[in-house]
Amino acid sequence: MKIPGAFRVAFAVVAVALGAVQAADAAPKRKPLSSYDPQVKELLSRMTLEEKIGQMTQVDHTAVKDLADVENYFLGAMLSAGGSDPQEGNSLQAWTDLYDRFQQRTRKTRLGIPILYGIDAVHGHNNVLGAVIFPHNIGLGCARSRALAEKTARITAEEMRATGIQWAFAPCVTVPQDIRWGRTYEGFSEDPEIVKVLGEAQVRGLQGSDLRNPLAVLACAKHYAGDGGTTWGSTRRGVGLDQGDTRVDEETLRRIHLPGYVTAIRAGVGSIMPSYSSWNGVKCSASKRLLTEILKQELGFEGFLVSDFNAIDMLSRDYKAAVEMSINAGMDMGMTSRRYREFFTSLKALVEEGKVPMSRIDDAVTRILRVKFAMRLMEKGRSQLADRSLHRSFGSAQHRQVAREAVRQSLVLLKNEGRTLPISKRVARIHVAGKSADDIGNQCGGWTIDWHGRSGEVTTGGTTILSAIKKAVSKNTQVTYSKDGTDAAGATIGIVVIGETSYAEGRGDRADLALAKEDVEAVANMKQAGIPVVVILISGRPMIVNQVLDQADAFLAAWLPGTEGQGVADVLFGDYKPTGRLSFSWPRSMAEIESKHATLFKVGYGLRY
Ligand code: BGC
């Protein structure tokens, strides 16, 4: 692998830069993907052009017009994009049946090559009811523990395997440079030093030490490259940041946005997803410089590139021209939905017309098949159907315990006047308030059951912060609740849980990160009771909190902690001391965001008891 000097130096300083993050141990020896080339070559020599193009085609299951298309188009991969749920609902059973239905069908193809099934398991197997939901990456970035990032990813992989699904569109190694972006929480940090260590850890957690492991899944580092560096207003609609243009020179791109890929490749990541966004006006999905020259030739990436969802469609109004552009730039697999037949026929025609060289097709299919061999998908007589015995440990107490630990470690204490925290479990009365105190949906954020998540208990099971507080205190402690913070008079202490409601890509871009009026009011109402007030912020990013921060006696940034609210209670009541440190700088005003100079709290800030 050719590693530019700058990266070699960067590797050396990983441990120093991360402080509390455990030092990067030497990468264990693993079989390189290219070691499967003899088997791949033999199979490739027996494949027709159609069979090869089929391997390069991935289809969202909701778009499949006829199940027989699995064999008619020799499909290489399927996916469930955000919101593409099984018709029967989101139960563990329904997801497992969905996977098995498609996998079973591949047996009818001439070569019987199993499909890869991809899903956005970005903080647990988060589409499935009853899965354990971990903190989103921003929280793991504040926990800064390599071991924790690896452990949570390993459990995610195991819960995925319970449904048969063996490909996670994760980790997201984005390095968000502007928190107005609605995908900020999908990133560990604004600091590439943190991203590269935790991204690598997640790849190891997902893929295990070896892709042969039946509990491991294929990882997919995304979104390559510079998805977090876009300029406000550079998007198709002229507003926001998502899918916009990253206007930086190559030195800056390499310094900020590439290190996460270098370490993911070092950890053996089998797939990478090029970004919807552009780099200096050129769509990443059509950039030969990024896909072929830098990623494959220079960084030595041996896995395959899968386009983002329908990203190829966005390259040109002329779909065939778009396919030509992307595949020739180095894209190996098209993630498609309704246009999958057109993708197939366009690419076939392009090869027949000599516009896409056969060598490019062979390179793409080689890369895909390497991964399939590495994952033992090609082993004769080995069932590729879901291992339903794993249903027993799905969402288990043991898995939830790890998520609870992750929550504790991800919390960042920003203010603690007069030792307001920790709270004694024996106080007479705690008054809890705020719209997110008793809301699993808000706690989990986007990419939870629904694409954009959803407020309320309807989302999935788990423990809200309110119920965690009730569980934690002594039996003589009274816990009362009002959403708006009224009726707090007479309580010993108040806890207000406020913040953002859930969102995902696009919808989450915000020009104004001020707190909602009802949040400010809930804190003010509580304060009026003349009691110490603890504010817990549930959010996908730092917000403009000045007024509330002034009123609060203690302030805890909890990010999007997921289903295990008890991790928050553990810290509130001092069973566990806060250790989290900010992975994003915190602004006082929107102007500070625009000028990229946040001054309220710096990266690394976080109080202790
Ligand atoms: C997102 C990706 C995701 C894909 C599949 C896209 O809209 O940008 O992050 O993996 O959908 O759901």
User: How confident is the model over 430-484, as pLDDT tens digits?
Assistant: 999 999 999 999 999 999 999 999 999 767 889 999 999 999 999 999 999 999 9
Residues annotated as catalytic (active site), given as ranges = 308, 505
Tens of pLDDT, residue by residue over 136-183, are 999 999 999 999 999 999 999 999 999 999 999 999 999 999 999 999
372 and 431 assigned to the same domain: no
Kindly give the residue spans of alpha helices, DSSP state H, lying in 131-274.
Answer: 137-143, 146-162, 192-207, 250-252, 259-266
3-state SS, 391-455, equals HHHCCCHHHHHHHHHHHHHHCEEEEEHHHCCCCCCCCCEEEEECCCCCCHHHHHCCCECECCCCC
When the pLDDT of each residue in the chain is averaged and rounded to a whole number, the result is 95
Q: What is the dihedral of CA 211, 214, 215, 221, to 10 degrees?
A: 30
Whether residue 421 lies inside any domain: the answer is: yes
Whether omega for the bond prior to residue 542 falls within 30 degrees of 0, making it cis, is no
Residue nearest to atom 11 of ligand 1 (CA): 309
Give the closest residue (by CA) to ligand 1 atom 4. Answer: 309
- Please, how many CA atoms are within 13 Å of residue 318, restricted to the half-sphere of its CB? 4
Sorted by sequence, the CB contacts under 8 Å of residue 308 that are 6+ apart come out as 222, 223, 273, 274, 275, 276, 285, 335
Q: From the CB of residue 234, how many other CB atoms can be counted at a distance below 10 Å?
A: 18
Ligand 1 atom 5 nearest Cα: 81
The pLDDT value given to residue 545: 98
Q: How confident is the model at residue 17 (pLDDT cuts 50, 70, 90)?
A: very low
Are 558 and 568 within 8 A, CB to CB?
A: yes
For position 521, which CATH number holds? 3.40.50.1700
In a domain, 387, yes or no: yes
Q: Which residue has the tokens 């926990």?
A: 143
Q: Is the pLDDT of residue 20 over 70?
A: no
Out of 363, 393, 423, pick the residue that ends a domain.
Answer: 393
Q: In Å, what is the CA distance from 200 to each residue of 175, 195, 533, 602?
A: 14, 8, 39, 24
Q: Which of 80, 169, 337 to mutate to test the pocket of ligand 1 (most atoms within 8 A of CB)?
A: 169
pLDDT on residue 476: 97
| pLDDT above 70: residue 6 | no
Q: How confident is the model at residue 28 (pLDDT cuts 50, 70, 90)?
A: low
Q: What is the pLDDT of residues 223-265, one digit of tens each?
A: 999 999 999 999 999 999 999 999 999 999 999 999 999 999 9
Residue nearest to atom 6 of ligand 1 (CA): 309
Nearest C-alpha neighbor of 166 from the set 107, 96, 231: 96
Q: Mean pLDDT over residues 530-555, rounded?
A: 98
Ligand 1 centroid to Cα of residue 401, in Å, is 29
pLDDT the model gives residue 21: 47
Instruction: Name the 3-class secondary structure at 249.
Output: coil
| Helix residue spans in 37-191 (DSSP H) | 37-44, 49-55, 69-72, 92-105, 137-143, 146-162
Same domain, 328 and 431: no
Encoded amino acid at 422, one letter: P
Residue 11 has pLDDT above 50, yes or no: no
CATH number at residue 319: 3.20.20.300
Number of domains in the chain: 2
In ligand 1, which atom is closest to the CA atom of 80? 12
Whether residue 181 sits in one domain with residue 307: yes
| Cα 116 to ligand 1 centroid, rounded to whole Å | 16
The last residue of one of the domains, among 360, 393, 426, is 393
Q: What is the mean pLDDT of residues 537-545?
A: 98
Asked whether residue 229 is domain-assigned, the answer is yes
Whether the pLDDT of residue 14 is over 80: the answer is no
Q: Establish if 403 belongs to a structural domain.
A: no
Torsion of CA 263, 269, 271, 273, to 10 degrees: -30
pLDDT value at 293 more than 90 = yes
Residue 301: inside a domain, yes or no? yes
Residues ≥6 apart with Cβ < 8 Å to 30: 209, 210, 268
Residue 523 has pLDDT above 80, yes or no: yes
Neighbouring-strand partners of residue 168 = 119
**Mean pLDDT on 571-577:** 98
Query: Ligand 1: distance of its center to the CA of 277 in Å?
Result: 12
> Please, is 67 exposed, middle or buried when counting C-beta atoms within 10 Å of its C-beta (0-12, 13-18, 19+)?
middle
Distance 309 CA to ligand 1 centre (A): 6
Same domain? For 87 and 149 the reply is: yes
Are 478 and 386 part of one and the same domain? no
pLDDT in tens, 190-215: 999 999 999 999 999 999 999 999 99
Q: Mutation test of ligand 1: which of 59, 60, 116, 120 has the most ligand atoms closer than 8 Å to its C-beta?
A: 120
Q: Are residues 388 and 429 in the same domain?
A: no
Which pLDDT belongs to residue 336? 98
Task: Judge if 217 and 145 occupy the same domain.
Answer: yes
**How confident is the model at residue 571, as a pLDDT?**
98
Neighbours of 31 (CB within 10 A): 12
* Beta sheet of 57-60, edge-to-edge order: 167-168, 116-119, 77-80, 57-60, 334-336
Q: What is the mean pLDDT of residues 404-425?
A: 98
- Evaluated on CA atoms 586, 587, 593, 595, the torsion sign reads negative
Point out the ligand 1 atom lying closest to the alpha carbon of residue 220.
Answer: 10
How far apart CA 338 and CA 73 sit, in angstroms, is 14
Is-contact 578 608, C-beta < 8 A? yes
Q: Note whether residue 37 is domain-resident.
A: no
Q: What is the maximal distance between C-alpha atoms in the chain?
A: 80
Specify the pLDDT at position 522. Answer: 98
pLDDT on residue 250: 98
Do 204 and 273 lie in one domain? The reply is yes
Q: What does the pLDDT read at residue 389? A: 98
Q: To the nearest whole percent, how much of the chain has pLDDT over 90?
A: 94
Co-location of 157 and 237 in the same domain: yes
Which residue has the CA at smallest separation from atom 8 of ligand 1? Answer: 308
- In degrees and rounded to multiples of 5, residue 589 shows phi and psi of -150, 165
Same domain, 111 and 147: yes
Please give the pLDDT value at position 24.
44
The last residue of a domain, from among 345, 361, 393: 393
Q: What confidence tier does 506 reach under pLDDT thresholds 50, 70, 90?
A: very high
Task: Output the pTM of the full model.
Answer: 0.95
211 and 276 housed in the same domain:
yes
Give residue 438's identity as a one-letter amino acid code. D
> Is the model's pLDDT at 19 over the cut of 60?
no
Residue whose C-alpha is closest to residue 437's, from 257, 561, 578, 551: 561
Is 44 inside a domain boundary?
A: no
- Residue-number span of the structural domain to which 350 is assigned: 5-24+56-393
Mean of the pLDDT values across residues 501-514? 97
Determine the pLDDT at residue 244: 98
Q: What is the SS3 assignment for 466? A: helix
Position 30 scores a pLDDT of: 83
Residues with CB under 6 A from ligand 1: 81-82, 120, 169, 222, 308-309, 505
Instruction: Report how far ligand 1's centroid is from the alpha carbon of 500 (Å).
Output: 21
**Shared domain check, 352 and 424:** no
Specify which residues 535 forms β-bridges with.
Answer: 496, 555
Encoding tokens for residue 461? 């099971």
The answer to whether residue 39 sits within a structural domain is no
pLDDT in tens, 92-151: 999 999 999 999 999 999 999 999 999 999 999 999 999 999 999 999 999 999 999 999
